Structure 1
Amino acid sequence: MTTTRFAPSPTGYIHVGNLRTALFNYLIAAKSGGTFILRLDDTDPERSKQEYADAIMEDLEWLGLTWDRVERQSDRLDRYEDAAQQLRDIGRFYEAFETPTELDLKRKKQLNMHKPPVYDRSALALSEDEKAALRAERGNGVWRFKLDHERIEWTDGILGDLSIDAASVSDPVLIRGDGQFLYTLASVCDDVDFGVTNVVRGSDHVTNTATQIQIIQALGGTLPAFAHHSLLTGPQGEALSKRLGTLALRDLREAGVQPAALLSLMARLGSSQPVELHGSLDEIIEGFDISTFGAAPTKFDVQDLYPLTGRYLAGLSVSEVAATLAELGVPAELAEPFWTVARENITTLKDLGPWWTLCRDGADPLIDDEDADFIAQAMTLLPDGPYTADSWGAWTNAVKDATGRKGRGLFMPLRKAVTGMTNGPDMSALMPLLQVIRAKG
C-alpha cells in the first residue's frame, strides 16, 4: 500500500512552491489507490497558528486534494522524546553547547584551512562534570545526531543515483536548547510510524534526506522511496522566494485562477510531457508520471495560468456557472445566451461583470472624430429594441445602403459606438443581449 504525506508548517499560507510538493504526493497516492496524509508540522508553538492550519485545509479542498487523515506533530511530542532516548541509548545522540558565535568562528577557521565547514564533534570529548558546568553557565545544550562517516547512497525517483559523504555534513541538531524538536527528528518518527512509502519534496532537501536515512536506520525503520523535484524560479530564472507573497494559493483564487488550470500546469511543469488542460483531477491522476520530471530549475510564470483558466471556462455549461450569473443579476431567461457569448471572451469569471454591465446599462460610445457624422446617421437607422439575432445584419445593411460604407470601415465604427470596444464577440450574438445602446441617445 502506497502512503505519502504533505507536511506544511502552519506558519503561513500555501504558495505555488508548496503546491508542487502537495500535488506530487497526492497524485502518487491516488494513482495507486493508496493513502495521502496531511501532516501539520506545528512543533514551533510561537509561529504555528490555527488560522494557517485552517487556511491550508481550505486551499487543498479548493483544489480537490483531499486527504485521508490529518496528523499534528504537536500531538506526538512524547513519541519524539522516546525516539530521542532510543538514540541516546545506542550512542547516536549527544549534547553540544557551542554558542552561534563559537560555531561561526570554527567554520571560518575550517574554511581558512581549506577544510569543509562541518561541526568538529568537540562536544563528544566533554566529561560529565564539564557538561554540568556548561549547563549551569549556558543552559541546556542542543542535541546532535552522530552520523556514521560513510557514503549514503540511494536511487532518487527524479534525480537518479545519489551519493553523499556523511563526513562532509555536520551532525544535525535534532533538539534545540529550549527543548523544541526540529523537523529532521519529528519527520523521521512520523514517516516510520505512519508507514510512509514515498517521500516527494524539493531538491533543497537532498542533504536532509541523506541524514534522515541514517536516522531512520538507527531507529529501525523502513526507508521510503525518495524523490526530489526541482525548485521553481520566476519566468526569467530569478529566485521565486522574493515573489511568493503574491503567489499564495488564496491570492491566485482571488485573482480568478481556476483549480483545473493550476493543477494542469503544476502536474506537467518541469516534465518532458507537454502541459495540457485537464477538466478533471482523475485525468491528471491517470497521466501523472514522476519519472518524467527533470532536475533543472523550473521556470514558473503566473501569467501562464490565465489562458488555461480561460480555456477551462469556455468549456463549462451554463448550469456550471449558474450561481455566478445569478449573483451578477443576469435574468434566468438570458443566462444561456449571455454565457454562450461571454465565455469565449473572458479570462476569469471576474470578467463577466463588465460584460453584463455592457448588456444591462450600455457602454460609453467610442467614436472617432472622423466617424461622428457617420455614427449620427447610422443611429437614426437603428430600430428600438428588443433586438434579435437578425438585428445586427439588418442594421448594417441599412447603414451600408445609406452611406456607401462597407467592410471594416462600416463594421468597426459601429462596434465601437455600440460596445465602446474595438473587439469582442460576434455582434449578431451580442445584439439580442443589449438592453441599452447609449450612442442612440
Structure 2
Amino acid sequence: MTTTRFAPSPTGYLHVGNLRTALFNYMIARKAGGTFILRIDDTDPERSKPEYVDAIQEDLSWLGITWDRIEFQSKRLDRYAEAADALRAAGRFYEAFETPTELDLKRKKQLNMGKPPVYDRAALALSEDEKAALRAERGQGVWRFKLDHERIAWTDGILGDLSIDAASVSDPVLIRGDGQVLYTIASVVDDTEMGVTHVVRGSDHVTNTATQIQIMAALGHGHPEFAHHSLLTGPQGEALSKRLGTLALRDLRADGIEPMALLSLMARLGSSQPVELVDSLDALIEGFDLSSFGSAPTKFDRDDLLPLTARFLHGVPFAEMADEIAALGVPADLAETFWEVARANITTRSDLPGWWHLFRDGGAPKVAEEDRDFVADAFARLPEPPYGPDTWSSWTAEVKAASGRKGKGLFMPLRRAVTGLDRGPEMADVMRLLQKKPTL
C-alpha cells in the first residue's frame, strides 16, 4: 500500500513552503488509495510547543487535508534508542567530542587546502581512556553515523537519476551531546517502521536523503521512493526564506484567501501544467502528476492568490453563503439578490460587509462641483425606496429628458453620487438593494 507522511516540527506556524510538501505527499497517498500520516517531529523538547501542534492540525483541516493517523516522535524515543544500539553493534556509530569552534577551524583548514570541508573522523582514533577524559572535561559527546565512502545512487521522482559521493559528506550527527535525537535517524526509523513508500520533500534535503539511504541499509532496510521538489522563491527570484514568517497559512486565512485558491496554486506551481482554479480537492488529486514538476526554483507571488480567491467566490452558490449573509443583517428577502450582486465585485469575503454597508446606509457621494446642481435636481426626481429592477432606467430617462445629458455625462455623475465609486455592480442592481434614498 502506498504510504506517505508529512512531518512538520511544532516550532512555528506552517507556511506555504510546508504546505507544498504536505500537499504533494497527501495527493500521492489519496490518488493511490493509500495512507497519509501526519507525523509531528517533536524530539526537541525546548522548541516544540503544544500550541503549534494544534495550529498545524487547524491549518491542514482548514485546507481539507486529512490524515489517517497522527504520530508523535516524542513518544517513540525508545525505538530510536534501539536503532542507535544496533548501529553501535554494527560498528557504524561513534562518539565525537569536538567543540563547534574546533569543527569550524577544521573546516577552514580543509578549505584552505582545497579539500571538502567534511569531518575528518578524528574521533575514531580515540582510545577508551581518551574518550573518558573528554567526557569528564566536556560532557557526553555527539554520536555520528560512519558513512561508507562510496557513491549513493537513487532515482528521484522529480530530479531523475541522482548520486552523491559519500566521501564528500560529513558523517552526520544523529544524537546530540545532551541526548536529543535528531531528525536524520528519527525519520529513518519512522519511515521504515511505518512502511512509508514515498517521501516528497524540498531539494535542500538531497544530501540528507543520501545519508538516510545508507542508514536504512545499515539497519537492514530498503528505502522509500524519494522525490525532491524545487524550493520557492519570491516573485523576482529572491530567497523566500526570510519572508516565510509573513506567509504563514494562518495569516493567509485571516486575510481571506480561500482554501481552493491556495491549493490550486500550490498543486500546479512549478509544474508543466497551467495554474488554474480547481473547484475541489478531489479534482486536484485526480489531475496530480509528480513527474510534471521540474527542478528550477519556483517563483511564488502572494498576490496571485487574490484573483484565484475572487474567481472561487464568484462561483459559490447562495446556499453556501446564506448564513454568512444573514449574519451581516441583510433582510431575508434581499439576501440572495445581495449575494448575486456582491459576489462579482469582491476579492475576499471580507469585502462583503462594505457592500452591505453601502446598500444599507448609502455611499459617500462623490460629486464634482460642476455636477452638483445636476445631481441635486436628479435626486429630487428620485422617489423614496423601495426600488425595483426598473428604477434606474426610468429615473435616468427622466433626468436625461430634464437635463439634456446623455451617455457618460449622465450616468457617471449619478453612479458616483449614489455609490461614491467609479465602478461596481450594474446600477439597476444597486438601486434594487438601496435601503435609503441617496442624498447630498
**What's the TM-score once normalised by structure 2's chain length?**
0.99
Equivalent position of 1:132 in the other structure: 132
Letter in 2 for 1:253: R
- For residues 94-119 of structure 1, what are the alpha-carbon distances to aligned partners after superposition, in whole Å with 9 as ceiling and x for unaligned? 00000011101100100010000000
**Structure 1 residues 109-168: Cα deviation after superposition (integer angstroms, max 9, x where no partner):** 000100000000010000111100100110000000000000000110001111100000
Superposition pairs of residues 202-213 of structure 1, within 5 angstroms: 202-213=202-213
2:52 aligned residue: 52
State the partner residue of 2:326.
326
Superposed CA deviations along residues 18-54 of structure 1, whole A, max 9, x for unmatched, are: 0000000000000000000000000000000110000
Give the residue type in structure 1 aligned to 2:201.
R
Q: CA deviation at 1:370?
A: 1.3
Among all aligned residue pairs of Structure 1 and Structure 2, give the percentage whose two residues are the same amino acid: 75
Q: Is the 8 A contact 2:384 2:437 kept in 1?
A: no
Aligned equivalent of 1:37: 37
CA distance in 2, matches of 1:217, 1:409: 80
Q: Secondary structure at the match of 1:179?
A: coil
Q: Is the 8 A contact 2:11 2:52 kept in 1?
A: yes
Q: Match of 1:28, as an amino acid?
A: I
Residues 243-262 of structure 1 mapped to structure 2, 5 A cutoff = 243-262=243-262
- Bigger shift: residues 377-386 or 124-133: 377-386
For residues 102-141 of structure 1, what are the structure 2 equivalents within 5 Å? 102-141=102-141
Matched, 1:19 2:30: no
Corresponding residue number in structure 2 for 1:367: 367
Indicate the SS of the match to 1:438. Answer: coil
Superposition map of 1:23-422 within 5 A: 23-422=23-422
Q: Give the Cα–Cα distance (whole angstroms) in 1 for the partners of residues 152 and 437 of structure 2.
A: 74
Letter in 1 for 2:187: S
- Cα deviations across residues 225-249 of structure 1 (Å, max 9, x unaligned)? 0000000011111111111111100
Between the aligned partners of 1:375 and 1:330, the Cα distance in structure 2 is 28
How far does the alpha carbon of each residue in 1:186-245 deviate from its partner, in whole angstroms, 9 at most, with x for none?
Answer: 000000000000000000000000000000111112210000000001111111111111
Q: Which amino acid aligns with 1:38?
A: L
Aligned length: 440
Counterpart CA distance in 1 for 2:337 and 2:55 is: 37
1:276 is displaced (CA, Å) by: 1.3
Contact persistence 2:385–2:437 (CA under 8 A)? no
| C-alpha distance in 2 between matches for 1:323 and 1:156 | 48
Q: How many Å apart are 1:290 and its aligned residue?
A: 0.5
Following the alignment from structure 1 to structure 2, what is the Cα–Cα distance between the partners of residues 232 and 436? Answer: 50
Question: Retained in 2: the 8 A contact 1:359–1:435?
Answer: yes
CA distance in 2, matches of 1:221, 1:9: 25
Residue 299 of structure 1 aligns with an amino acid whose one-letter code is K
Question: What is the letter of the counterpart of residue 301 of structure 2?
Answer: D
Rounded Cα–Cα distance in structure 2 between residues aligned with 1:123 and 1:437:
86
Query: In 1, Cα distance between the equivalents of 2:125 and 2:394?
Result: 97
CA deviations 1:49-87 (Å, max 9, x no partner) are 110000000000000000000000000000000000000
Task: Could you tell me which runs of 5 or more consecutive residues in structure 1 were left unpaired when the two chains were aligned.
Answer: none
CA distance in 1, matches of 2:270, 2:286: 18
Residues in 1 aligned to 2:321 and 2:257: alpha-carbon distance in whole angstroms:
15
Say which SS state the counterpart of residue 267 (structure 1) adopts. helix
In structure 2, runs of 5+ residues without a counterpart are none
Runs of at least 4 residues off by over 4 Å: none
In the alignment, the residues of structure 2 paired with residue 22 and residue 163 of structure 1 have an alpha-carbon distance, to the nearest angstrom, of 25
Aligned-pair distance for 1:437?
3.5
SS of the aligned residue for 2:319 comes to helix
| One-letter amino acid matched to 1:389 | P
The CA distance in 2 between the partners of 1:141 and 1:284, in whole Å, is: 48
Aligned to 1:434: 434
Aligned partners of 1:363 and 1:437 also within 8 Å: no
Distance 1:8 1:438 in 2: 55
Contact 2:346 2:352 in 1 (8 A): yes
* RMSD of equivalent CA atoms: 0.7
CA contact (8 A) 1:93 1:146 kept: yes
Equivalent pair of 1:364/1:438 in contact (CA under 8 Å): no
Instruction: Output the CA distance in 1 between the equivalents of 2:215 and 2:417.
Output: 73
Give the aligned residue type for 1:278: V
1: distance between equivalents of 2:27 and 2:202?
A: 16
Kept in 2: contact 1:198–1:225 (CA 8 A): yes
One-letter identity of the residue aligned with 2:338: F
